[in-house]
Every structure is written in structure tokens, then in C-alpha cells.
Amino acid sequence: MNQLIEINSSEDILSKYQNTPIALLLEYHNLKRPFTDYTKAELLVGMCMDHRKHLHIPENFSYIIRTGGANLRYSEFKVSYAISVGGIKHIALIGHNNCGMVNLVSKKGQFIDGLVNNGGWSKERAEEHFNNFAPMFEVGNAAEFVAMEAKRLRKKYPNIVVAPLFYNVDNNKMYMIEE
């Protein structure tokens, strides 16, 4: 089980992330560090599409890819673009508590009914859609998933620093995940 590290001061940030854009992200968001002006992104943030999360960061500080569960597996071209064209050397992956991508099977009925009622789909088509894609997007435990996704991205991009983080939607604070 991965431990969450509360960030109440700069000293709480793991040493391997000190003096990086990942530390700056945590300082801007949790510690209300005064904003610096940026003309280009310093960081790629991969985070869940959940509407309850909002980062307190300066303009132009980061690229942000929002996808269910912070799962970047199907956004790798965008990640590669940020690294190759954008010059990004640091990635912050942010999972969160009460994530809708956890235990997707429990939402199957609601998912199907929502596509039928809101999307105009047939029940059969909606069920097939769920059955085909839910296994690809299920994250299980959100913190563990983000830590595994960080390891996967480190293997794919060995020169990039990837940090798994966790956002608590109840207090709007970010935590480091100690792997």
C-alpha cells in the first residue's frame, strides 16, 4: 500500500522532487507560493477529468491532460508531443479520492441508463459500449493506479521525472505518494 505524504511546507516534498516543477506545483497549490510569470510550460500534468478538482497554478505553467482516472495510456501521443515539441522534462500524475473510475462495474446500470436517456442510445448499444471499454478504464485503487501509471511512464520515457500525486477533493490539498 502506498503512503500519502502531506505537504504543509517545502521541506515535506520528497528530496528527489526538490527544485523541480513538481515541487513548484505543490508549493503553488498547497502552500500558496506567489506566482511567477511563465512564457512556456514547465510541466505536464495528467489528472482526472473530475469536475471537483482545480489546480492553483500560474498561467502558462503546465500542459494539462485530463482523462478518467489520470490514465494516460490512451493519450500517449499527447504526452510525447509535450515532451518532444514542448520540451517537458517533468510529469505530475494526479489521482484523487472518490474517483468515478474506481469500481466501474457498480455504475454499469447508471451508465447504460444515462446513455439511453441522455445520449439517445439503444440499451443494447450502451451495454456493449460499457462492456467493451469499462475494463480499459477501471483504475481499482486510485493512489495505487497513479503510482503504477508513473512507473509505466518512467519506463516509456526514461529521461523524464514522473511523480505520482493524490488530490483530496474534501480539502482541496495535494499529497505526494510515497512508492
Would you list which residues are annotated within the binding site for Zn(2+)? 96, 99
**Beta-carbon neighbour count of residue 36 at 10 Å?**
10
Could you tell me which residues are annotated as the binding site? Answer: 96, 99
Distance CA 19, CA 157 (A): 20
